[in-house]
Structures are given as C-alpha cells and as structure tokens.
C-alpha cells in the first residue's frame, strides 16, 4: 500500500509570516473587544444635602453627578451608556453623598474621590475643567480669568458652556466660577445651590447675590479690598477672589500696603 506523505511543515520563514499575521489579528480582535467591553460604572440615585442626585463612578473615578430635578436624567443616562456599562450599585457610590454633606458643613477637605473627565468630549472644555480644579476651596475665579488660564482669553462664552455642561459638579467645582463684578452668576443646578456651596466655603453673599471678598493677584501675590485702586487697575484675568483674608494668606498671598485689608 502506498503511503501518502503528510502535508509538509512550512519553512521557518513561512512560520514567521504566519505568526506575524496571527499577532496582528489578535491585536485587532483585542481592540474590537475593548470597544465591546466598555468599563463598568456603579450608579446610584440619592437624596442628598443638595437635593436628589444621580452619581456614577468608574474604575478611574467619578464620571457623573447629576442634579435630578434640574435636567434630563434620561438623557444623562443615555450619554453615560455611550462610554460605559452602568451597573446599579448604590452602596458603591454612597460615600460620595457623605462627602458632600461634610463639605456643606464646612469641611474643606471632605472631597476625596478622584474624577474622570471621560464624559467631556471637547478638548477645550476638558482643559477648562482641569484648570478649574486648580482653584482652591475658599476662592473663586471669573469666567474671564478662567478663559485666560485655559489659553483663550476671549472665550468667556465658551467657558460658560463648559461650566453648564460640567458632568461632575461639586467635585469639579464650577460653583467657583463667578462674574467679574463679583456677582454669583449662573449655575447648572440653580443659583440657590451655588450660593449654598459658596457659603459653605466661607463666602459672605448678600441678598443681591454679590460676593463680599478680597481680591488677590496671581502674579504679584498681593490681596486687596475690592475698592482698592490697585485692584481696580489690575488685569481682571489675573484675579482670584477669596472669601476672606485668611483664605488669601493660606493661598500664599500677602496684604496690600495701600488698602491694608483687615483680617
């Protein structure tokens, strides 16, 4: 009986080619499966010190805090599903509610959760929110100053849009952005929530929604009374407003020798 020889093994060079094709195919499959296997986020809805909120947290940090009585909750969940797989798990995100409560009681160090800006699609908005996170508790910045810090000094309206669409309020503190004249201005969760957050951080706000603050200059590191001539002449894009003199000093500022701000 004639024995038929088996199919010969490919030469070493051919093996290398096949291995390379297999590696390439596996890499392509991994990318495809990575898209299918979106990161999971724990989601919960709560009654909080700021009213009803929806919270979502993923492996890299908080991705969403939504005031449920001020907008389209279903729309927010749809946006969340575009990038993540939401899993109902209130216990996993409940500590955020406790941190917000402690913040409103005056604990400036209450917020410890990381944030993940994956829900922000615009590079400009993402950069504006990153810059905003550098504004410390007890201080606020104007829309103009934040635009300048982001590298677009004339983009105040775009900054307003970035604040209005901020997916993680409180932790990404859009309540710390106010008008150049010291008025509180708009807020996605409503002005009463913004005032509540600012008062918790030490600000005195009158019935006209104007902040009583001292003004500090980023470059000179000097803080003044708002009516001081030096403050009035200063480039508004370089100013921070502080709740009081101790907050200004804590930020490394020194008092103006002209107006001698108290505190």
| Best CA proximity match to 91, nearest among 127, 45, 122, 28 | 45
Residues 6+ apart with CB under 8 A from 224: 214, 215, 216, 217, 230, 231, 256, 258, 259, 261
Q: Taking a C-beta distance cutoff of 8 angstroms, is the pair 174, 120 a contact?
A: no
Annotated catalytic residue: which of 174, 224, 228, 256?
A: 174
Known catalytic membership, residue 259: no
Q: How far is CA 235 from CA 142, 215, 218, 240, in A?
A: 12, 12, 10, 11
Q: What backbone phi and psi angles, to 5 degrees, belong to 255? A: -70, 150
Angle, helices 90-104 vs 191-200, to 10°: value is 70
Closest CA to 53 of 39, 40, 66: 66
Q: Are 83 and 38 in contact (CB under 8 A)?
A: yes
**Where in the sequence numbering do the catalytic residues fall?**
174
């Amino acid at each position: 009986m004639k024995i038929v020889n088996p199919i010969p093994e490919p030469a070493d060079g051919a093996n290398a080619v096949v291995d390379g094709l297999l590696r390439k195919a596996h890499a392509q499959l991994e990318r495809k499966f990575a898209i299918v296997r979106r990161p999971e986020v724990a989601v919960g809805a709560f009654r909080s010190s700021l009213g009803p909120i929806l919270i979502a947290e993923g492996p890299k940090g908080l991705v969403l805090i939504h005031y449920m009585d001020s907008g389209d909750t279903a729309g927010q969940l749809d946006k969340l599903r575009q990038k993540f797989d939401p899993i109902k798990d209130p216990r996993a995100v409940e500590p955020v509610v406790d941190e917000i409560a402690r913040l409103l009681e005056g604990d400036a160090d209450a917020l410890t959760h990381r944030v993940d800006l994956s829900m922000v699609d615009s590079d400009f908005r993402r950069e504006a929110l990153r810059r905003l996170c550098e504004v410390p508790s007890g201080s606020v910045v104007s829309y103009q100053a934040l635009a300048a810090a982001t590298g677009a000094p004339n983009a105040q309206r775009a900054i307003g849009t970035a604040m209005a669409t901020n997916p993680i309020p409180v932790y990404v503190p859009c309540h710390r952005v106010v008008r150049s004249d010291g008025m509180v201005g708009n807020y996605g969760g409503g002005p009463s929530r913004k005032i509540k957050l600012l008062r918790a951080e030490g600000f005195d706000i009158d019935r006209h929604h104007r902040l009583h603050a001292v003004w500090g200059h980023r470059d000179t590191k000097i803080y003044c009374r708002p009516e001081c001539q030096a403050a009035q002449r200063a480039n508004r894009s370089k100013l921070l407003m502080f709740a009081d003199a101790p907050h200004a000093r804590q930020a490394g500022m020194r008092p103006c020798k002209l107006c001698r701000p108290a505190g």
